[in-house]
Amino acid sequence: MSEPETDPEILLRDFLGYHLKRAYVTVHADFRDIMGDAGLSTRVFSALAMVVGQQGITQSELARALGVERSGMVALIDELESADLIRRDPVPGDRRVQALQPTGRGIARFDALVALVRAHEARCFAGLDDTEKDTLLRLLHKVRAGGNST
C-alpha cells in the first residue's frame, strides 16, 4: 500500500506471460515498421528463411518447424511462389509432397531482408548488451522447451 497509483500494472507485474506478450508486441510492431510496405510479414519472412536454410524442405515439415498447421502454410507458400521467391518442385518417389526451393531472386531477396531484420533487432534490443542477448535467447529457448514442444 506504499504507492497505490504510480504503477498501473500493480497486479499484472508479477506475471511473466504478460511481459512476454508486451515485449513480443513491441518487437513485432518494430519489425513491421522497419520492413515497410514492400517487406514481408514475420511469418512469411520466417518461412522464406527456413526454405533458404533448408532447401527442399516439405510444406508439412515447414509447418512443423514453424509450429503452425499445414493448412496455414498454403496461402503463405502461394504468396512466396507468386512473388517468384520460392518454387514448389515435385519429388520423385513421392507424388504427395513438394520440395520447396528458393529461387535466385528468393535468396537475393532474403539476403537483402536479413540486413533489414538485423537492423531491426539491433534497434529493438539496443538496451541489452551481448551477454544479456545471449541470456534472453537461452531463457526463451528454455521456455519453449519446458512447455509443450510445438
At residue 42, the 3 state secondary structure works out as helix
Nearby residues of 23 by Cβ (< 8 Å), 6 or more positions away: none
Nearby residues of 56 by Cβ (< 8 Å), 6 or more positions away: 89, 99, 100, 101
What whole-number distance in Å separates Cα of residue 106 and Cα of residue 48? Answer: 8
- In the stretch 100-129, what mask flags binding to DNA with x, by CB under 7 A? ------------------------------
Nearer to DNA (CB atom), residue 3 or residue 37: 37
Cell 506471460: give the residue: 17
- Asked if 150 is part of the footprint of its own copies (rule: CB under 8 A), the reply reads yes
| Site for DNA, rule CB under 7 A | 25, 41-44, 58-61, 63, 67-74, 77-78, 88, 93-98
| Site for its own copies, rule CB under 8 A | 5, 8-12, 15-31, 42, 46, 49-50, 52-54, 57, 61, 65, 67, 114, 117, 120-121, 123-128, 132-133, 135-137, 139-148, 150
